[in-house]
């Protein structure tokens, strides 16, 4: 069965996350239904990351095995037609080797967390960013984030239901962008690692927001990390601002 990699974009608000579940709608379920409209025998689709309810993606990657050969363009066009009107789109498609795997072949995941700081409610960006009322000190947030870079035991920033075998992960990079926004600030936190724990990025974002708001000194992030105690984490940010922006592979299947 020929295997195809797909880059996928979606608005996470209507879904209970990526993973197929009994009852609630999911991104995986909708994609599999679209593929099975073309080929009823398509096996379950595997993805690079299982995003939670309400989390968005511009660079999710998944793969599917088809019964016959398709040109990647025709396959993506056909799948997108069957996805309508769901807010999911295949933005790139490529034929890959039979042993290529969206999850296990991946070498890094990239996430962005978006915070809009302003007093007025969000309208056009409602559900697409975490709105906080007060202004944030981005330099202080950068200072706090430096303590998170590298290999650490991230128990403090790990959900109690996390199924990872170990809380030890390596965070390769954290950077910040600040953009003009009507009546406030548009702050984007970019994170890169081979893999992340459940709720790790949202835990980072909620903790760093406390630093930016002046409620925490940047050094308190280091204290919380070293405590290895979930109770020492700042508030967990909502899913609205979280976006899976990319997955890295030894060779990019969409440009090879």
Summarised one tens digit per residue, pLDDT across range 42-59 is 889 999 999 999 999 999
Active site residue 52: yes
Q: Tell whether 253 is covered by a domain.
A: no
Do 232 and 118 fall within a single domain?
yes
CA dihedral over 151, 152, 154, 157, signed as positive or negative: negative
DSSP string, 26-47: -HHHHHHHHHHHH-TTPPPPEE
Residue 160's pLDDT is: 86
Q: How far apart are CA 47 and CA 135, in angstroms?
A: 37
Q: Tell whether 256 is covered by a domain.
A: no
Do 129 and 75 fall within a single domain?
no
Domain boundary among 70, 105, 140: 105
Question: In total, how many domains does the chain have?
Answer: 2
CB-based contacts of 117: which residues, under 8 Å, 6+ apart?
131, 132, 133, 134, 135, 136, 184, 185, 187, 212
Q: How far apart are CA 24 and CA 11, in angstroms?
A: 16
Summarised one tens digit per residue, pLDDT across range 148-200 is 999 999 999 999 888 889 999 999 999 999 999 999 999 999 999 999 999 99
Choice among 11, 39, 52, 229 that is catalytic: 52
Q: How far apart are CA 244 and CA 236, in angstroms?
A: 17
For residue 21, whether the previous peptide bond is cis, meaning omega lies within 30 degrees of 0, is: no
Summarised one tens digit per residue, pLDDT across range 7-31 is 999 999 999 999 988 878 999 999 9
Return the CATH number at 200: 3.30.70.660
């Amino acid at each position: 069965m020929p295997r195809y990699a797909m880059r996928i974009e979606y608005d996470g608000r209507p879904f209970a996350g990526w993973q197929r579940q009994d009852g609630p709608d999911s991104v995986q379920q909708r994609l599999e239904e679209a593929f099975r409209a073309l080929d009823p025998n398509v096996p379950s689709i595997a993805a690079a990351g299982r995003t939670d309810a309400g989390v968005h993606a511009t660079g999710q990657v998944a793969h599917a095995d088809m019964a016959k050969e398709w040109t990647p363009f025709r396959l993506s066009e056909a799948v997108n037609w069957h996805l309508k009107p769901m807010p999911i789109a295949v933005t790139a498609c490529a034929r890959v080797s039979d042993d290529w795997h969206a999850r296990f072949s991946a070498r890094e995941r990239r996430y962005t967390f978006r915070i809009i700081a302003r007093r007025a409610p969000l309208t056009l960006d409602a559900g697409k960013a975490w709105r906080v009322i007060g202004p944030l000190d981005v330099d202080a947030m950068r200072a706090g984030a430096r303590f998170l870079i590298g290999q650490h035991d991230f128990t403090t920033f790990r959900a109690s239901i996390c199924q990872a075998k170990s809380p030890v992960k390596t965070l390769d990079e954290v950077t910040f962008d600040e953009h003009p926004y009507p009546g406030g600030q548009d702050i984007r936190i970019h994170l890169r690692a081979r893999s992340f724990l459940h709720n790790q990025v949202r835990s980072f974002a909620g903790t760093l927001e406390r630093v930016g708001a002046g409620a925490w000194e940047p050094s308190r992030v280091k204290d919380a990390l070293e405590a290895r105690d979930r109770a020492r984490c700042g508030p967990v940010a909502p899913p609205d601002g979280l976006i899976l922006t990319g997955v890295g592979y030894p060779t990019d299947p969409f440009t090879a």
